[in-house]
Structure 1
Amino acid sequence: MLIAIIEDTPVNLLVMQSLVKRLGAHDCQIFSDAEFGLAWCQDNAPDLIIVDYMMPSLDGLEFIRRCRSTPALQERPILMVTAAAERSVRYAALEAGASDFLTKPIDTHEFTPRVRNMLQLRAAMAATTHRADELAVAVRQATEEIQMRERETIMRLARAAEFRDPETGSHILRMAHYSAIIAQHLGLPDETVDLLLSAAPMHDVGKLGTPDHILLKPGRLTPDEMEIMRQHASIGYEILRNSSSPMLQMAAEIALSHHEKYDGTGYPQGKIGEDIPLTGRIVAVADVFDALTSARPYKEAWDLEHAREHLLAGRGTHFDPVCVDMFLDNWNEILDIRSIYQD
């Protein structure tokens, strides 16, 4: 282990260094200058620090306080060397964070077991920390595997909905990445952006419950048929709701809210403005843009400029104006996504 001894008396330094060497092949660094020794300890975080109380430039109490204010040294064992009668100093040292004491003059029978005990304590602490790190890695790996399976399940369910819908698989990839671009430039946390990227493809999963003669109708829907079509938002929400998964919770929120309009004329709940969940407002922009610019059996694809004008025209009525701005302000990224995920 790495041990630091800070003592302004050369004889005591050499005595303690010699006694430490008897305990095993430890790396023992000695310092007669307290300030220099402190700086070295803060940079190297030794496993054990032995420090004298009475030193000219920096006494042992202040040395310990500065050690404990250094994150890397907050839990490292510190032995302070004091005269046997200095009880008040010992009390102050305990308050400052000393782990144990050594008395002067140095007694081999006291020094050896105290230092050995501190090294064993440090070894136990290091083993516990190492085990905790191993467990954290294992938990992280297990969580990543669960999330990967969860994403796969969500994507497969989204693809199942595609088989009943003339929209393509590339549509759900494009609109999901458009949504992530908007969310990222809105300043949402990376974790939220990742969740949105995974949850957005589920926005139309409720179309699994829409009859074929309505879902696949090539012409304009009648008012009654449109009412049935609009039920897919609520159906998607019912499919996804009440999950313990944050991803599915977000997917349920998106399914229910992505057809709401900023002015309150959307469906199924007629929510207005910021009462609409932000995820729904984001996906509304991404979904409509990609639907407009994609060919369908019942329509031709709009050109990009026409689609941009539609977003601008709906800014503040159909769409959240800030979401539209984030989408259009990062137009090159949008074009990159269109290029990568072509039909």
Structure 2
Amino acid sequence: MDKTKSTLLIVDDTPENIDILSSVLGQDYKIKVALNGERALAIANKVPRPDLILLDIMMPEMDGYEVCERLKSNPATRSIPVVFVTAMVEEVHEEKGLALGAVDYITKPVKPSIAKARVKTHLALAHQSRELEKKVALRTKELHDTRLEIIQRLGRAAEFKDNETGLHVIRMSYYSRFIAESFIDDEQSGWPELLFQAAPMHDIGKIGIPDKILLKKGKLDEDEWALMRQHPRFGAEIIGKHESGLLAMAYEVALAHHERWDGQGYPDGIKGEEIPLSARVVAIADVFDALTTERPYKTAWSVEAATDYIQQNAGSHFDPELVPHFVRSLPRIVDIKSKFEETACFD
């Protein structure tokens, strides 16, 4: 059988009607048949799926309307064009079928030329639609990847001001996503991925801090520390307020990731659930990575010591509900830490 031929599924409880359509269309298309709605749904859900379904309305147990409704409610079969083939020609019946998602009607008795023309047209339209969807999906992915790359580069631009490689933003972004995935128990949610994309912008405000403060090896004096504490606000001003979900989250992460659960953080001293969830997650990821990374002014803590610190500060610095999800995510976190490990050579 020619594998390039499109496949039609003919659904009718009367074998004679199936025979008529098969004889009309069988030369140009591969034909599958079903004598009832349940069988039709089973065939439609089996890969490879039919390219178009010719569906009778008046059938026992499950009529064509219900079959069409169930096909269109299933993401796996929603895009298959459905053409009703029926003797029910009143306008109200046609309106109902089209409202359920059918693309056309063919009336019985079937005229071969009409059936061939309608099937050919709707297969061509479906093919064009699939090709357009592929192009849109490809372009959307390209835009998504470009946007993510720009955000990561901007985040690293800030990190390069006070560390050599900028790998911090990569690691802590993964840590944030792992914690979020543990906390948000919903595989369909895009929130953890959105946080992964927004997290690299958390310290973009460091661009506004003078190098003499940012790179100072000794302790900051009171005035220097007061300015350093403004970098979250600088970051929020750099990002600005936007309708975009990604930039809106990047704004709240930049502004609030140094706030503390007990209200002793900065720049606004907000506490508890007043702090956006995204910033509460990033706070844990950011501190853990800072503790476990060597810097000119400190040695790296062990994973165990850093974990103990975060657990001991649950309810004071960190959201106590999120900390167990951080602990649960440690195997994945340690794996990423190893993958993006820094080899630092400090004078």
TM-score by length of 1: 0.78
Match of 2:107 in 1: 101
CA distance in 2, matches of 1:181, 1:291: 17
Q: Would the aligned equivalents of 1:17 and 1:28 in 2 still touch at CA under 8 Å?
A: no
**Which consecutive segments of 4 or more residues in structure 1 shift more than 6 A?**
none
Name the CA shift for 1:321/1:40 in 2 (closer, same or farther; >3 Å). closer
Match of 1:155 in 2: 152
Instruction: Note the C-alpha offset of 1:228.
Output: 0.4
Pair 1:230 & 2:229 matched = yes
Match of 1:328 in 2: 327
CA distance in 2, matches of 1:129, 1:183: 38
1:211-258 per-position Cα deviation (integer Å, ceiling 9, x unaligned) = 122111111111211110011111111111234643333222211010
Match of 2:47 in 1: none
What SS does the corresponding residue of 2:82 show, helix, strand or coil? Answer: coil
Match of 2:64 in 1: 64
Amino acid at match of 1:76: V
Match of 2:247 in 1: 248
Identity among equivalent pairs (%): 36
Alignment map for 1:1-343 (pairs within 5 Å): 2=8, 4=10, 6=12, 16=20, 20=24, 25=28, 36=35, 38=37, 41-42=40-41, 43=43, 47=52, 49=54, 63-71=63-71, 76-81=82-87, 91=90, 94=93, 97=97, 99-102=105-108, 111-112=110-111, 115-166=112-163, 168-187=165-184, 191-243=190-242, 245-343=244-342
Amino acid at match of 2:136: V
CA distance in 2, matches of 1:163, 1:52: 67
CA distance in 1, matches of 2:22, 2:283: 74
Instruction: Note the C-alpha offset of 1:124.
Output: 2.2
Relative to its length, the structure with more helix (as a share) is 1
Amino acid at match of 1:274: E
Name the CA shift for 1:123/1:250 in 2 (closer, same or farther; >3 Å). same
Instruction: Note the C-alpha offset of 1:269.
Output: 1.5
Structure index of larger Rg: 1
What SS does the corresponding residue of 2:86 show, helix, strand or coil? Answer: strand
Amino acid at match of 2:274: D
Q: Would the aligned equivalents of 1:242 and 1:249 in 2 still touch at CA under 8 Å?
A: yes
What SS does the corresponding residue of 2:326 show, helix, strand or coil? Answer: helix
Amino acid at match of 1:138: K
RMSD: 3.4
1:39-79 per-position Cα deviation (integer Å, ceiling 9, x unaligned) = 554425585648697xxxx56x9643454344159953333
Q: Would the aligned equivalents of 1:176 and 1:200 in 2 still touch at CA under 8 Å?
A: yes
Which runs of 5 or more structure 2 residues have no equivalent in the other structure?
Answer: 1-5, 45-49, 72-76, 98-103, 343-347
1:182-233 per-position Cα deviation (integer Å, ceiling 9, x unaligned) = 0110126553222222221221111111112211111111121111001111
CA distance in 1, matches of 2:302, 2:91: 77
Which runs of 5 or more structure 1 residues have no equivalent in the other structure?
Answer: 82-88, 104-110
Name the CA shift for 1:177/1:19 in 2 (closer, same or farther; >3 Å). closer
